[in-house]
Chain A
Amino acid sequence: MKKKKKGWKELPIGLVTEPASSLEFETGDWRSEKPIWDEKKCTHCLICWIYCPDSAIIVKDGKVQGIDYRYCKGCGICAEECPPKIKAITMVREEK
C-alpha cells in the first residue's frame, strides 16, 4: 500500500526530513537485469558484499544469505566481481 503524498502545507520548512529516509526509497524497480545467487557455488568470500553500491547483499554471521531485491538496481557489479573460478552470481533479464 502506497502512502498518500503530502501537500505543500504539510511539509516541514526548508527541505528537512527525517533521517535515513532513503530506506523508504526502494530502488529495486529500476532493475532490468537481476542477479541470481547460487548458494551451492558461493564460497562466502564477501567480495560481492564489499563491492555492492546499494548494500543489497544480505550477510549474516559472515555468510551470504541472498540479495535484497528491494534495493538491488541490477548493476551487475556483484556478478562481475565474483571470482571467475566461482561464478556464483549470474545476471538474467528481469522479464525471464
Chain B
Amino acid sequence: MIVARTGNEAMAEAMRQINPDVVAAYPITPATEVVQLFSSFVHDGLVDTEFVPAESEHSAISACAGAAAAGARVMTSTASQGLALMHEILFIAAGLRAPIVICLVNRSLSSPINIHCDHSDTLASRDAGWIQIYAENAQEAYDTTIQAVKIAEEALLPALVTTDAFIISHGMERVELVDDKAVPKFLGERKVKHSLLDVDNPVTLGPLDLQDYFFEHKRSEIDAMNHVLPTIEKVQKEYGDKFGRYYSTVEEYKLDDADVAILAMGSTAGTAKVAVERLREQGKKVGLIRSRVYRPFPQTAMLKAMTKVKVVGIMDRADTLSTLGGHLYTECRSILYDADNRPLLKNYIYGLGGRDISIEEIEAMYDELLTIQKSGQVDKNIVYYGVRGE
C-alpha cells in the first residue's frame, strides 16, 4: 500500500504492524510523535501492546529492559535528552542482552537547548552496546524498524533505528507499507531461552559480578557485537526477498568509477545523491558512500568503499569534542591505518543544531575534494562547514 507519511508516522505504523508486547515511554522535551501516535493505536485497540506511560525516560527504558528480560518483544521511542537520560540503562539492557528496539529521532543534545537535527545524541551512546542504524528517508525508517526487531532478537542485542529530526521525522514522503499480516509473519514469535515469568525454571538475572567474572561477561557481550553484521546482512536480504526493498550496511552510490567521494549518514546522503547527479552531468567523477549501519562499525564494507577513490570527504553531523574531529572521521582514519591505497581524508563537521545543508554546499565540497585530488594535499583536515566566522 502506498501512502503519504512523515518519518514519525512511518515508524509508528511499523510499530503498529509489529504489535510489540510492551511499549514503555515518556515524552521528555523534545519528544517525538512516535509514541504519541502509537498510544492512539493502543487506545483504538489496533494493537495488543501493554503500554506503560513511565515517569521519566530512565524509568521507561528500565521497564523496557525488565519486560525484555521477561521474554517480551519490546519497543520504545525517544530523542536527544531522552536518550541521554536513558544512558545508564542503555548499557544494562545491552549487558542483559535485552533485544529492545528504539525508534529514535536524532536531535542535538543540549547545550544550547535545541530540538533540531544532528547526530550528537546517538553518537554519544555509541559505546553502549546497541546496534545503530541510520535511515536516509521515511521509507527506510519504516523498513528498518521492522528489520531491527528481527536483527535485535537474533543477535540478542538492543537496536536503535534513527531518523533525522524534522528533515525525516516531520517531512511527508511517499511510503510503501507492507501488508499488516505480513509483518508478524516475517518476524515470527520471539523465542527466549530464559524468562523471568517462568516460575518453574527460576533464574537470577543481572547479579553483582566482581573481579572474578565481570571481564568474562563483558567479553561475551563484545563477541556478540562482533557477530552482528552477518545477522544484519541476512535480515536485510530476507526483507528484500520478501518485500522488494534491499539495503546494505554501507551503501555505495556511483562509486565504481569515482575519483572522490563523500561519506555521510542519514538524510544528508539523500541530498548528496542529488549533488552527485548534478556534478556527473558536468562530467565530474564523484560518488557517495553512506554508512547505514554505524554500530557495529561495518569495517570491511567501509574499507572496500573508501579505497575505491582517491579522496573522501567525511561529513559528520556531530563533533567528538576530542580535538580529533567527528565520529565517522576518527573511526574511518582508524580502519584505514593498515590499508593499502589509503585515500586522502577531509572532515566536514556540518549541520549542528539543525543548520541546513544545501545541495549547492555539497557540490562545493565535491569541488574542493576534486582540487585536493589534483594537488594531492589536504591543507586543513577538519573544517566546520557552514558556521559563521570561520
Chain A residues close to B by CB (< 8 Å): 5-9, 11-22
Contact = CB atoms under 8 A, between A and B. Distances in A.
Contact of B206 (A6, A7, A15, A22): A15
14 contacts: A9-B220, A11-B217, A13-B193, A14-B95, A14-B98, A14-B205, A15-B206, A15-B209, A15-B217, A16-B194, A16-B203, A17-B204, A18-B203, A18-B204
A21 B220 CA distance: 20
Contacts of B193: 12-13, 16
Contact of B203 (A6, A9, A19): A19
B223 interface: yes
B283 interface: no
Contacts of A18: 203-204
Closest 10 CB pairs of A and B: A14-B97, A8-B216, A19-B202, A8-B219, A8-B220, A15-B206, A17-B204, A16-B203, A16-B194, A19-B204
Given A16-B205, A17-B203, A17-B204, A5 B213 contact: yes
Q: Interface size for chain B: under 10, 10 to 19, 20 to 34, or 35 or more residues?
A: 20 to 34
Contacts of B97: 13-15
Contacts of A12: 193-194
A52 to B, nearest CB: 20
A59 B209 CA distance: 31
A8 B217 contact: yes
Nearest to A14: B97
B207 interface: yes
A22 B204 CA distance: 10
A68 B212 CA distance: 25
Contact of B96 (A5, A8, A15, A22): A15
A37 to B, nearest CB: 29
Nearest to B92: A15
A80 B123 CA distance: 53
Interface string B153-187: 00010000000000000000000000000000000
A14 B220 CA distance: 9
Interface string B190-213: 000110000000111111010011
Interface of B: 95-98, 156, 193-194, 202-207, 209, 212-213, 215-217, 219-220, 223-224
A36 B90 CA distance: 47
B212 to A, nearest CB: 6
A16 to B, nearest CB: 5
Given A17-B207, A22-B207, 17 more contacts: A5-B212, A8-B216, A11-B213, A12-B194, A13-B156, A13-B193, A14-B97, A14-B194, A15-B97, A15-B205, A15-B209, A16-B203, A16-B204, A17-B203, A18-B204, A19-B204, A20-B204
A8 to B, nearest CB: 4
Q: B97, B98, B203, B212 — which one has the most chain A CB atoms within 10 A of its CB?
A: B203
Given A5-B213, A16-B194, A11 B204 contact: no
Nearest to A19: B202
B100 to A, nearest CB: 13
Contacts of A22: 207
A9 B220 CA distance: 7
A13 B219 CA distance: 11
Contacts of A19: 202-204
A3 to B, nearest CB: 11
